[in-house]
Structures are given as C-alpha cells and as structure tokens.
C-alpha cells in the first residue's frame, strides 16, 4: 500500500497524507465472519471512566480473525484483500479446500489467488503458518504466539515483523520490532512474512475531526491545567510543568514501571532499552 498527498482545497486536506486503498479488492465483508462490536466509552461495569480521551467514533462491525491457524495441511486460496476498521493491517479472506472461509491478517505482498497452508512440516513460504522450531534461521515472521495454541499475540500491527535469530532444543530466539530479543517456545506458531500496510506510519490525519471519527476525544496538555487538576499544572505564563508525571503523580519520562520479578522477564535476552 502507498499513500497519497491530497490537493489542499480545504484546511483539513492541506497537510493530509491519506492511505491509498489500491490494494483493497472489495468493500463488502463476509457476512458469516462479522459480528457486532460493543463500545464501552472507556467506562467500566460501574460506569466510571477508566481510560481518558476515549468515546464516540464511527460504528464498526468486528471481523472475526483466525489468529490460531490450526486448520493444518488443508490448502487455502486467498479470495479478497479487505480493509478492517479495527486494526491497522489489511485482512485477507481465505477459502479452504473443504469450503470453510476464514479471515487472517494479510501479509505484505499477498495477492488474490495465492495459496497458503498451515501445519507442522510445511514450506516456509509467504503466508504459511508453522511452529518456530521448524523454521530456518533468519526467517521473517509475524503473528507470533507466546503460548502454544493460544493464538498470535505479538507482531500483528501494520508493517511489523520479527526475525528468527537462534534456536535451541526447547526455545526459539526472535528479534521483535521494538529491538527486544526474547525466547519463545519452539512449539509456538508464527506466520512467514511481514504484516501488510507498511506505509501506515506515513498517514497524516489532517484534522482533529478525523480523530473523533476513530473514537479519540481531545487531549488537554497537562501544563495548561490548574494545579488542582494535574501535578504539572499552574504557574505564571508559560512556566514549565516541573518533573513529568501522570495525573496521579506517577513519574514519567524514564521512570521504570515494570515489576522487577515479572514472570516473563526470564525469557527476555536483551531489552529494547539496551543499545
């Protein structure tokens, strides 16, 4: 996917860089694979706001995505490449040889008519899913599981990719997009290739209203508030806000918040913080 710079005929299009939907092949989703999406407005079961700056937005239908890819050794043909309002990546509708249809996260350069397959001993071709322990070193992957059978949890956003850098009898070592290097069980599955829509980071919305359509409400700078509203508020004129903090006083900008004894820390070979 590419992006396009719009002709500035209105203030909202003057700086806008819009996505080019030339890779989309249909605008009608598979009805058997969509369901309603309930919005909370960032409120919990007691009606209290738990996340700020959320609410509103355009109505969406949720596309049911197959993150597990456990339909082994049955080839599937790509029928369409579609837009998904719930994620940054494109999704692909695939039809298996037995007639079943499923949505998957579309890898970059996957085309209509291509054939994909999942299994234990399949070829490491674009779109195929297999355990990390059966992949050759250096393979670029996405949709990586952290627990066998749970489904893909990481490397799922537009343009993301990880690389298999080492293997042992039990663990595979992968380098994540953040720069973190971590170990994952060899039995965890991943999909070969890079996630589609790699130019997503180039998109510029152009106006505040487009963020409202996405369900994002305005955000007020902390230094523009009063002392009663935020630890960084107050002061005469444009005085600085002091030490960066959250509205509840938690230090920001470098203060470590990760628990020192977190269980997953033992799987991290190199932190993303390390140079």
State how far the alpha carbon of 71 is from the alpha carbons of 67, 97, 111, 262, in Å. Answer: 11, 11, 21, 34
Fold of 222-262: Ribosomal protein L2; domain 3 (4.10.950)
Confidence of residue 2 (pLDDT cuts 50, 70, 90): confident
Q: What is the pLDDT of residues 28-67, one digit of tens each?
A: 999 999 999 999 999 999 999 999 999 999 999 999 999 9
Q: Residues of the chain with pLDDT > 90: what percent?
A: 90
Which sequence spans correspond to the domains of the chain?
A: 3-201, 222-262
When pLDDT is averaged across residues 72-90 and rounded to a whole number, the result is 97
| Cα–Cα distance, 20 to 242 (Å, whole number) | 43
When pLDDT is averaged across residues 223-230 and rounded to a whole number, the result is 93
Residue 275 has a pLDDT of 63
Q: What is the pLDDT of residues 189-214, one digit of tens each?
A: 999 999 999 999 999 999 999 999 99
Say whether pLDDT at 274 is over 90.
no
Contact between 51 and 42 under an 8 Å Cβ cutoff? The reply is yes
Going by their DSSP bridges, the two strands 61-63 and 76-82 should be labelled as unpaired
When pLDDT is averaged across residues 58-81 and rounded to a whole number, the result is 96
When pLDDT is averaged across residues 212-234 and rounded to a whole number, the result is 94
CATH number of 3-201: 2.40.50.140
Mean pLDDT of the chain: 94
Residue 1 has a pLDDT of 60
Query: What pTM does this model have?
Result: 0.91
Going by their DSSP bridges, the two strands 34-36 and 61-63 should be labelled as antiparallel
Q: What is the pLDDT of residues 118-140, one digit of tens each?
A: 999 999 999 999 999 999 999 99
Residue 241 has a pLDDT of 80
Cα radius of gyration (the chain) = 22
Confidence of residue 253 (pLDDT cuts 50, 70, 90): confident
Burial zone of 248 (CB within 10 Å; 0-12 exposed, 13-18 middle, 19+ buried): exposed
When pLDDT is averaged across residues 175-194 and rounded to a whole number, the result is 97
Grouping H, G, I as helix, E, B as strand and the rest as coil, residue 143 is coil
Residue 136 has a pLDDT of 96
Say whether pLDDT at 175 is over 90.
yes
């Amino acid at each position: 996917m590419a992006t396009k710079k719009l002709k500035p005929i209105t203030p909202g299009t003057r700086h806008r860089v819009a996505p080019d939907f030339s890779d989309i092949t249909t605008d009608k989703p598979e009805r058997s694979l969509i369901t309603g999406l309930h919005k909370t407005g960032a409120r919990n079961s007691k009606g209290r706001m738990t996340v700020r700056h959320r609410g509103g937005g355009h109505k969406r239908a949720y596309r049911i995505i197959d993150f597990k890819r456990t339909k082994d050794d049955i080839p599937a043909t790509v029928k369409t490449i579609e837009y998904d309002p719930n994620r940054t990546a494109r999704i692909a509708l695939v039809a298996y040889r037995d007639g079943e249809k499923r949505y998957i996260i579309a890898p970059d350069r996957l085309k209509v008519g291509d054939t994909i397959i999942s299994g234990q001993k399949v070829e490491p071709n674009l779109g195929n899913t297999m355990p990390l322990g059966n992949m050759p070193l250096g393979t670029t992957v996405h949709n990586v599981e952290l627990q066998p059978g749970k489904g893909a949890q990481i490397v799922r956003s537009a343009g993301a990719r990880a690389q298999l850098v080492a293997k042992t009898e039990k663990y595979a070592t992968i380098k994540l997009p953040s720069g973190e290097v971590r170990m994952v069980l060899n039995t965890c599955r991943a999909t070969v290739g890079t996630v589609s829509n790699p130019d997503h980071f180039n998109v510029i919305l152009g106006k505040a209203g487009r963020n409202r359509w996405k369900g994002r409400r305005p955000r007020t700078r902390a230094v523009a508030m009063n002392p009663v509203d935020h630890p960084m508020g107050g002061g005469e004129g444009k005085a600085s806000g002091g030490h960066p903090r959250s509205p509840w006083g938690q230090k920001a900008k470098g203060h470590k918040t990760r628990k020192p004894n977190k269980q997953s820390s033992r799987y991290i070979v190199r932190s993303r913080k390390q140079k």
